Chain A
């Protein structure tokens, strides 16, 4: 069964919908700046890829009555709405949701934890009602009337890529007729401080794949794709934006957070995804890399890419200097960008590139360029050695 993408939705630091995201990508306008909504001391010293809409604006735009909802859920519903509306699908008992998040409702729970830990004050304990990841997905599913299947993948930064794979599998085995897949994560003090304690945040604008890169910028985002069989999409006469043709998830099994020097997990993920897609490495028109801007990832990923593609590499870029590293949402927002690359026949640039990494025989795609884009390979690698690759192909 060929898996068609019939709807895409996105909200990130560079746009509140897919069109705005695309416009920023082609005008090379980054969304990384000083955060205005995140209440963390780290906003004084670090830059973030913050979504420009407040929770109030998100709720208003969604007509979301219940105040007991986290930003993570609101972002996901916002992007889901765009994807569902674009696809024109009706929600029935053949439609499922495979979402993903790493923070869940932590952004809202922090409203409880602050007075609780600083003053032993339990006043806001009711905020914990939306804490766990499952509840965030459940609320979004209920908002759209999705009842048949709703799960949450939580594998750190590879989550959404995994959600896409799980969704594709559900369709292929006839468990569902349509599935909405993607991921969401909102900025919160917990993750900002967590990454800071690992000393992998760049206090300046991140520089993916540059020799002098100094870490990542955190971002928030949500993005979803509507998947259904190509046959069904054609029967419905709906626009097919692209196909999901390959996917793979492997474990690096090297260390809890760092990637192996030889990029083993990444190498296996890319290789297996190509195999599943029935493609050769030379068929890939563009790689949207994980490229977080950390010393470790960019080095390890570069080595893995070289192992798979050899000297004949397609154009490669990381779009994280646009959006920041959006954690669980990364695989989804970058899936949307991969689909846009296919639709628009455009290559998106790797911003803020400075000097080449010593052993790399390539430099990233630096400009927006028109090109024939047939197959895009997207990488998402997360803590816990979780390595995922998804391949998208022209419809």
Chain B
């Protein structure tokens, strides 16, 4: 399966940036998402009500397709660890504070996990296969697997694949308290959305081939460049923050590494890698993707 066009919204200057490797900035307490002007991608009435995941989905998905010079993809698969946190908490709050009265149907509608993929379909007028995988740190892995299987079955030539997760202050507070109860050292929490265009055939925008996908471990395959959220390689999570789909940022950076070729700065150094391993290990789940430059 070929990958190439990719779009990413993260704590780094990644959206629309040809060389995000040369503008990496260490995270601080104040770091926020570097977001595009969403008005370019969504009509204002809809934008008003959208949470961050939905905005990232709209902008990420649309800009990825634009980069691939495609009007549409045959299918859409999305991986998300927690889905629409803001709307879920908002609706829950209304249920309990108002004693099951005066609720917001909008928050409920937007809280369903597949509202990200569903909304993309709506915006793009896309009637194709539309799937959402919610499997913690393996979510993007299963979205990639699903795309690969779909292409393998001959049911799609192109698949738009997304990995999205948002954080809110409330979520961070809850995770923090939860971590305390199990004595777990919570990492710095991040958020972000990354979209990829996968295809059966090589497209003009194609950059690499996915040659291996493991949903259980770090593959033993050799690689010129290793991107991992552990210190067994370049730790991308220290730039994206940690979340269930932070590997999306890693995959994005991998594709950009192939594209740019040579990077030599304070954070990292590599020279035309031809094989990149992207790895993620979190809360008892582990996955890895091996890409080969084409």
A151-B129 in contact (CB<8A): no
Of the candidates B92, B99, B109, B124, the one whose C-beta lies within 8 Å of that of A383 is B109
Flag A112-144 by CB within 8 Å of B: 1 or 0 each.
011011100010011011001111011000000
B149-A156 in contact (CB<8A): no
Which of B82, B93, B129, B152 has the largest number of chain A CB atoms within 10 A?
Answer: B129
Q: A198-B108, A384-B121 are in contact. Are A151 and B138 (CB under 8 A)?
A: yes
B115-A166 in contact (CB<8A): no
Flag A343-371 by CB within 8 Å of B: 1 or 0 each.
00000000000000000000000000000
Beta-carbon nearest neighbor of B95 in chain A: A193
Of the candidates B83, B92, B103, the one whose C-beta lies within 8 Å of that of A117 is B92
B109 neighbours in A (Cβ, 8 Å):
198, 256-257, 383
Q: A128-B178, A148-B216 are in contact. Are A118 and B91 (CB under 8 A)?
A: no
Flag B134-170 by CB within 8 Å of A: 1 or 0 each.
1110110010011001101100000000000000000
Q: Is A254 part of the binding interface, using a Cβ–Cβ cutoff of 8 Å?
A: yes
B119-A125 in contact (CB<8A): no
A252-B135 in contact (CB<8A): no
Q: Is A380 part of the binding interface, using a Cβ–Cβ cutoff of 8 Å?
A: no
CB distance from A66 to the nearest CB of B (A): 14
B215 neighbours in A (Cβ, 8 Å):
149
B95 neighbours in A (Cβ, 8 Å):
117, 189-190, 193
Of the candidates B96, B104, B127, the one whose C-beta lies within 8 Å of that of A253 is B127
A189 vs B139: C-alpha distance when bound (angstroms): 26
B285 neighbours in A (Cβ, 8 Å):
138
Q: Is A173 part of the binding interface, using a Cβ–Cβ cutoff of 8 Å?
A: yes
Which chain B residues numbered 102 to 132 have a C-beta less than 8 Å away from chain A? 103-105, 108-115, 117-119, 121-122, 124-132
CB distance from B234 to the nearest CB of A (A): 26
A252 vs B242: C-alpha distance when bound (angstroms): 35
A265 neighbours in B (Cβ, 8 Å):
127
Q: Is A211 part of the binding interface, using a Cβ–Cβ cutoff of 8 Å?
A: no
Which of A116, A118, A151, A156 has the largest number of chain B CB atoms within 10 A?
Answer: A151
Q: How many A-B residue pairs have CB under 8 A?
A: 176
A167 vs B81: C-alpha distance when bound (angstroms): 21
Q: Is B39 part of the binding interface, using a Cβ–Cβ cutoff of 8 Å?
A: no
B216 neighbours in A (Cβ, 8 Å):
147-148
Beta-carbon nearest neighbor of A101 in chain B: B134
A118 neighbours in B (Cβ, 8 Å):
96-97
A110 vs B96: C-alpha distance when bound (angstroms): 9
Of the candidates A114, A251, A252, the one whose C-beta lies within 8 Å of that of B96 is A114
Q: Is B40 part of the binding interface, using a Cβ–Cβ cutoff of 8 Å?
A: no
A151-B92 in contact (CB<8A): no
A137 vs B81: C-alpha distance when bound (angstroms): 13
B122-A253 in contact (CB<8A): yes
Q: Is B293 part of the binding interface, using a Cβ–Cβ cutoff of 8 Å?
A: no
Q: Is B181 part of the binding interface, using a Cβ–Cβ cutoff of 8 Å?
A: yes
Of the candidates B103, B125, B130, the one whose C-beta lies within 8 Å of that of A384 is B130
Q: A122-B177, A126-B178, A151-B138 are in contact. Are A385 and B153 (CB under 8 A)?
A: no
Q: A41-B100, A125-B174, A134-B135 are in contact. Are A250 and B127 (CB under 8 A)?
A: yes
A251-B150 in contact (CB<8A): no
B99-A155 in contact (CB<8A): no
Beta-carbon nearest neighbor of A169 in chain B: B149
B178-A154 in contact (CB<8A): no
Q: A134-B139, A172-B153 are in contact. Are A189 and B127 (CB under 8 A)?
A: no
A170 neighbours in B (Cβ, 8 Å):
149
Of the candidates B100, B124, B146, the one whose C-beta lies within 8 Å of that of A42 is B100
Flag B248-285 by CB within 8 Å of A: 1 or 0 each.
00000000000000000000000000000000000001
Q: A132-B81, A148-B216, A256-B122 are in contact. Are A190 and B127 (CB under 8 A)?
A: no
Beta-carbon nearest neighbor of B110 in chain A: A256
Which chain A residues numbered 12 to 33 have a C-beta less than 8 Å away from chain B? none
A129 vs B179: C-alpha distance when bound (angstroms): 9
A251 vs B129: C-alpha distance when bound (angstroms): 7
CB distance from B140 to the nearest CB of A (A): 11
A137 neighbours in B (Cβ, 8 Å):
135
* The 7 residue pairs across chains A and B that have the minimum distance between CB atoms: A384-B118, A117-B96, A194-B108, A134-B136, A154-B113, A133-B134, A134-B135
Please name 23 pairs of A and B residues whose Cβ atoms are closer than 8 Å in the assembled complex, sorted by A: A41-B99, A42-B100, A113-B96, A125-B181, A126-B178, A129-B182, A134-B81, A134-B135, A151-B133, A153-B134, A154-B83, A169-B152, A173-B152, A190-B95, A193-B103, A197-B108, A251-B118, A252-B127, A255-B122, A257-B109, A264-B127, A265-B127, A384-B112
Binding site for A on B (CB under 8 A): 76, 81-83, 88, 91-93, 95-97, 99-100, 103-105, 108-115, 117-119, 121-122, 124-136, 138-139, 142, 145-146, 149-150, 152-153, 174, 177-178, 181-182, 215-216, 244, 285
Binding site for B on A (CB under 8 A): 40-42, 102, 104, 110, 113-114, 116-118, 122, 125-126, 128-129, 132-135, 137-138, 147-156, 162, 166, 169-170, 172-173, 175, 189-190, 193-194, 196-198, 249-257, 264-265, 268, 382-386
Other A-B pairs, 17, CB within 8 Å; known A118-B97, A133-B113: A41-B100, A149-B215, A150-B135, A153-B134, A154-B112, A154-B132, A166-B146, A189-B95, A250-B128, A251-B126, A251-B128, A252-B127, A256-B119, A383-B114, A384-B118, A384-B119, A385-B122
